[in-house]
Amino acid sequence: MREHKGGAKTMTERPPWFGRAVGEILAASRFGIVGLAATAVHAGVALGLAMPGILPPLVANTIAFLTAFAVSFAGHHFWSFPQAPQAKRRWKARLPRFFLIALMGFAANSGALASWLAFTNWPQSVGILLAIVLVPAVTFLGSRLWAFADTRIAPAGANDHDCV
């Protein structure tokens, strides 16, 4: 606490967990931005290959998923969950873990939607929106706690190179 001239006391120190919480919020925000970019790439590639009839929709969607995965992994590896420059070689350990999480997210999204459509009479748009909201949250947790677990989130105010 700090005392001002008039005798009033104000709290100037933040609790020890505050910086880490802000760092985690920053990582989650970056994760969301990268996810939106990857989603745009996925949609663009899938539509660009399927709509003019270049490839069948399922083949176009598979190519789009793999292309979006590359965007997503690069964004998360270098920006959402950054590391010290000397640790950038950890991509070899992170890549297969994140690919497994991405595949499980894709399967969970499809399974949630299929279940919604099979077991409810509610509009399919509600099921799609629920899957879109819930699966990325679980994917973030899997990414943060397993695929990119080798990254410590720096306290607020620290630069990205303070993370190891």
> What residue spans define the domains of the chain?
15-162
Q: Looking at residues 42-67, what average pLDDT do you find?
A: 89
The residue ranking higher by pLDDT, 136 or 70, is 70
| pLDDT tens-digit series, residues 34-53 | 999 998 998 899 899 988 98
In 3D space, the residue among 20, 6, 56 whose CA is nearest the CA of residue 157 turns out to be 20
Spell out the residues 6+ positions from residue 66 whose beta carbon is closer than 8 angstroms to its own: none
Share of residues in the chain with pLDDT > 70 (%): 80
Q: Nearest 5°: phi and psi at 38?
A: -65, -40
Give the model's pLDDT for residue 161.
46
Max mean pLDDT range (6-10, 99-103, 146-150): 99-103
- How deeply is 17 buried, as exposed, middle or buried, from its count of CB atoms within 10 A (0-12, 13-18, 19+)? exposed
- pTM for the model stands at 0.72
The residue ranking higher by pLDDT, 84 or 80, is 80
Instruction: Spell out the alpha helix ranges (H) of 13-163.
Output: 18-50, 57-75, 91-119, 124-142
Q: What is the mean pLDDT of the chain?
A: 81
Give the tokens for residue 97: 């873990």
The confidence band for 2, taking pLDDT boundaries of 50, 70 and 90, is low
Q: Is the pLDDT of residue 153 over 80?
A: no
| pLDDT tens-digit series, residues 10-33 | 556 888 888 888 888 998 999 999
The CA distance from 120 to 10, in Å, is 54
